[in-house]
Amino acid sequence: MRFLLLSTPYQGHISPTFSLARELISLGHQVDYLTNEKWAEEVRETGAGLITYPQDEADLAGTLSKAYQTAIAHKGDYDSLIFDEFNFTGRALADDMGIPGIRFFPCVAMNERIIAPMLQGNGVMRIFSDPKVLEFITNSVREQTGNSDISDTIDEAANRSPALNVVFVSEWFQPDIETFPRDKYKFVGPSIRETTTELPSWLQIDSTRPLVYLALGTIDNMHPDLYRKFLSAFEDIPANFILSVGDQVQLSDLGEIPANCQVYPVVPQNAILGVADLFITHGGMNSVNEALVNGVPMIVVPLSNDQPINAEQVARLGNGLTSDPDNLDVESIVRLVNTALNDDEMKSRAKELQGRLAGRDGGIEAAREINTFLSSQQPS
């Protein structure tokens, strides 16, 4: 079979699909990605092909429409469409192409109950809380694609579920799991992007002290004021700290860097989590899954979108603490870090959850679920 995989070109969305693509290919299928050129090298490393389309982050409707039109140009070439939940045109696009559509969630599965608090929070989801904005985006997409069956992103997520949805979180992490029909939703667990597990030589790791790693993701990470608070707090904690602040924050904006802190634009996160004692994170699903797989306790400081939901789940599971970033000051950061570093029960819980994931690969499980589903759709 030939699959067209339509993914939003953000790291947290596309990275869980690489293992999925490799496994589909190993099962004898062909996979082509529909995304942007940014991911060309990693897409091709999976053995998949690449079809690109223009992306303008300031024009959501236009970007979605261009992806739709590019896919339609390849109508007849594919047997199934696998699409990211953020591409709310996916269901209608699959129908227009005359092939089964399979949706994947790089985050927790969404319905009205889960989406509702996200609409009131920060991040891109907030724009959909305004009915006029929602209607404008939807009508623009309908007009540009010529498909009047496309509904708005909230309705698509909550009420227009395709026959198969694969979710890259574990059942025990998913909130309100009882509201998702088990015949339609398959919770396959984390699919970690394969990167090196070797620590680079330029990182200085002192094994005699605890290692704390801080990263606030790859999108909403422009928070120099927050980084300065953390650095001020870390100076008085007997541990070593590695901070990844992204390539848009100038190190000169952070003030004096304490002697026990190393600050870089980008670091190999999975490799560091393999040796870290604590992870301070924004709570993006990709980061949370990497912490779970590595058995690292967390302090979750949710900034936007689904991150408060993920923070609640970490607190519920007992493998981490959470704090509202607006309430953080130097004293509270010191208290949180010292509490987490000395909480043996939390460390044990993190290792227990790691054990539940040992030997599992969500991408492989997703490919097998897709293979089984499509085989069942074939005429007997």
- Tens of pLDDT along 295-330? 999 999 998 888 999 999 999 999 999 999 888 999
Compute the residue count for the chain: 380
CA distance 98 to 18: 25
The pLDDT value recorded for residue 205 is 83
pTM of the model: 0.92
- Tens of pLDDT along 14-28? 999 999 999 999 999
Binned at pLDDT 50, 70 and 90, residue 124 comes out as low
| 39-55 average pLDDT score | 93
Please state the φ and ψ torsions of residue 198, each to the nearest 5 degrees: -90, 135
The pLDDT value recorded for residue 206 is 83
Share of the chain above pLDDT 70, in %: 95
Query: Sign (positive/negative) of CA torsion 109, 281, 266, 118?
Result: positive
The pLDDT value recorded for residue 173 is 97
- Only one residue has tokens 């299928």, namely 29
- Tens of pLDDT along 138-197? 999 999 999 999 988 888 888 889 999 999 999 999 999 999 999 999 999 999 986 666
| 23-49 average pLDDT score | 95
Structural domains in the chain, CATH included, are 2-191+361-377 (3.40.50.2000), 211-357 (3.40.50.2000)
Binned at pLDDT 50, 70 and 90, residue 12 comes out as confident
User: Residue 80 class from Cβ within 10 Å (0-12 exposed, 13-18 middle, 19+ buried)?
Assistant: buried
